[in-house]
Structure 1
Amino acid sequence: MSLLRLPRSAVRSRPSGRKAPSRSLVAATRETLALVLDEDAPLLDSDRDIEDVILRLRGHLMELGHASLGRPRPELEAALAAARKVAEMDVPTQYLDVRKHLRTFATAVATVIAELVAAGLVCGHSVECPPATAQDCEAAKIRVHRPEIGCSELCNGVLIFEDTGCLLPTGGIVEPRRPLPREAVTT
């Protein structure tokens, strides 16, 4: 059985002890994609280099599939299915055909990342936002600003309120840190 083709029952549930993938997963995947898709990237000359990039892309695809657990979206499921289909194809033997296959595979993985970002499951910024568990979690960029209700959702899932309080994705609360009134400061 292919590792990329696990039964749906195995993919849908995550063992309770397993943590969600780190946000740096996207950065590592983008580095691998840059080897294939960037125009300035050096050409992969040897069969060993090409095999290595294909294996890395397959590994990234498996990890990205785990990042999608919990919130199924039709667009994301379709992107994952398309990328898995390309991953399962036999790698051609001719150099130009291999390059074409590699670009197709990398493009499919890039589409999966775009869908994960659209679903709000991973950070899509070039400098990744701090995770919700970090002490500086409020430094994340705003994903959705809702001034009519006085809060904003940050990229890492934290809800930050106008009174400077926060609600963490885990349900934790960060108390508001309002400045002291003038009378309290002068006395």
Structure 2
Amino acid sequence: MRPTLEVAARHKVPVFVHRVAHPNAEALLKGAGNLGNSLGRGLLNGVAFLSVIKSSLLDDLPDLHLVFATLGLGAIVQAARGGIYDRAERAIGRRPNIYFDARGHDPDIIRRLTGSLGAERVLAGTDWPILAALNGEALRQSLAQAGLNDREARLVAGGNARRLLGLRHDQAVAAE
């Protein structure tokens, strides 16, 4: 993966980290159904996230931007409780270039991510075609139910994605 990540950093192209299957997917599906398989994928995604923040990868490649799927929410929350993503580290501006896909428009997940990591690191995402596609009104309602203020809601709804993708204002308006 390192050569691919080096190219992404050089070109400032974000990389989406999202497990497709767990190595034991068949057993997880048989034993616990789709939710069991999702939790297995989440475990791998969470371990990948924790491995990245414990490694020197982000120091070695400061222009690398990673977006993690929220499947690994447990690891994300644990990292926010201590270490590089805790509130004290965020307060002094010390955070790596890692973002999190809110995976749909569940207000509880949005509240957990923004409360733990800051609205500047959360992206509205759909996980389509698995979850229903987002629509503007449903997303606005979810952001409000999550308790986000106007600035935070604008960041999550599209501002962070525009910044991450380097879109100019005109391009961003056209994309929306």
Q: TM-score, normalised by structure 2?
A: 0.27
Q: Would you tell me which structure has more helix in proportion to its own residues?
A: 2
| TM-score (normalizing by structure 1) | 0.26
Q: Of the two, which has the highest radius of gyration?
A: 1
